[in-house]
Amino acid sequence: MKAVILLAGLGTRLRPHTYSKPKPLVQVAGKPVLGHILDSLAGLELEETIFIVGYLGDQIQKYVTDHYPNMRARYVEQNEMKGQAHAILLAKEYIDQPVLIIFGDTIWETDFTRLKQVDHDGLIYVREVSDPRRFGVALTKNGYVTKFVEKPSTPISNLAVVGVYYFRAWQKLMQAIDTLIERNIQTKGEYFLADAMQLMIEDGARLEVETIPVWEDCGTREAILQTNRYLLTKHGSHAREIQGSVILPPVYISDSASIRSSIIGPNVSLSENAVVENSIVRDCIISECAHIENAMLESSLVGKDAHVRGTFERLNVGDSSEVDSASANGE
């Protein structure tokens, strides 16, 4: 089996952070989103993992090479944002066996031993949601998908498609994508995987359904903070005792982070070489080498090398930025 991970999106909902790094490298609970995804695949025997990259894709390759040196990896660049199905098509020559397709902006939990029990053409992972209008959904009958609908205006199904797909019959998938593009079937100007899968079903393919217990989005500031809370609560704290400061779990504090006279937590991730001085920080993700001084932060994302001084608010601060409320107030 091979895996294809789609990582080429621009991540506009996570700006300003995605101006300087790809969305899958945004930190959550001590490591990038991509790191959590790759760790979830550790138990699978993958012949190759194909990364579809785009803007700043060299950062993806460096991260994988540095942190997963034994992974058999291939990188394919998507220069035009024409959609998920188009991204998969770019890797067509390398997809020559059953394939796992993964979207790179969500974190999920499932037991992949289920893949060994797939008897037909594929398996689609779904999650029950209270408001299906925000998601692509699957209609099912007797354990098989009968139809895919993208963001239905009326609640026709509560099974949201989570962005993890297994295609035992990979040839049928690639044929459907070819047909999709030949017929120019687009949704909002892009070639969607859901439309290709609908063509598969109309051509007789049988796609099984598996409901997963955990699905956390990482596409917006609010979503990634919620994912950070979930992962910290699930995995527990990673923190050392720090004299003169108070640590309120759950937190992730890098061993190289520096904390002085501060209150950290709950639900805080503090990355490598970050510095927090005389501050109160809760429900935040602080990226590597960021510096927080004389501040009170809540529900904030602070980017790499950013400097925040003298403020009490919710911030979304990109890499290498500076917020100095003390200077603005004449202090």
Q: pLDDT at position 190, please?
A: 87
Q: pLDDT at position 315, please?
A: 58
* 186 inside domain: yes
Element (H, E) at 74: strand 73-77
| E strand residue ranges, 144-242 | 144-150, 159-167, 207-211, 214-217
Element (H, E) at 84: helix 84-90
Same-domain check for residues 82 and 145: yes
* 225 inside domain: no
Report the largest interatomic distance among the alpha carbons of the chain, rounded to a whole angstrom: 71
Residue 169: phi and psi, rounded to 5, are: -95, 75
Mean of pLDDT over the chain = 87
Same-domain check for residues 30 and 177: yes
Spell out the residues 6+ positions from residue 12 whose beta carbon is closer than 8 angstroms to its own.
Answer: 18
Q: pLDDT at position 153, please?
A: 74
Q: pLDDT at position 4, please?
A: 97
Q: pLDDT at position 156, please?
A: 82
Amino acid at 77: E
pTM of the predicted model as reported, rounded to 2 decimal places: 0.86
Q: Give the domain CATH number at 290.
A: 2.160.10.10
Same-domain check for residues 192 and 248: no
Q: What token pair was written down for 148?
A: 């895919």
Calpha distance 22→60 (Å, rounded): 7
Interval 120-160: pLDDT, tens: 999 999 998 887 777 788 999 999 999 988 777 777 888 98
Element (H, E) at 61: helix 57-67
Q: pLDDT at position 328, please?
A: 45
Interval 64-87: pLDDT, tens: 999 999 999 999 998 888 889 999
* 256 inside domain: yes
Question: Which residues of the chain fall short of a pLDDT of 50?
Answer: 320, 327-331
Q: pLDDT at position 3, please?
A: 96
* 8 A C-beta contact, residue 292 and residue 276: yes
Calpha distance 299→91 (Å, rounded): 39
Q: Whole domain around residue 96: which residue ranges?
A: 2-217
Counted domains in the chain: 2
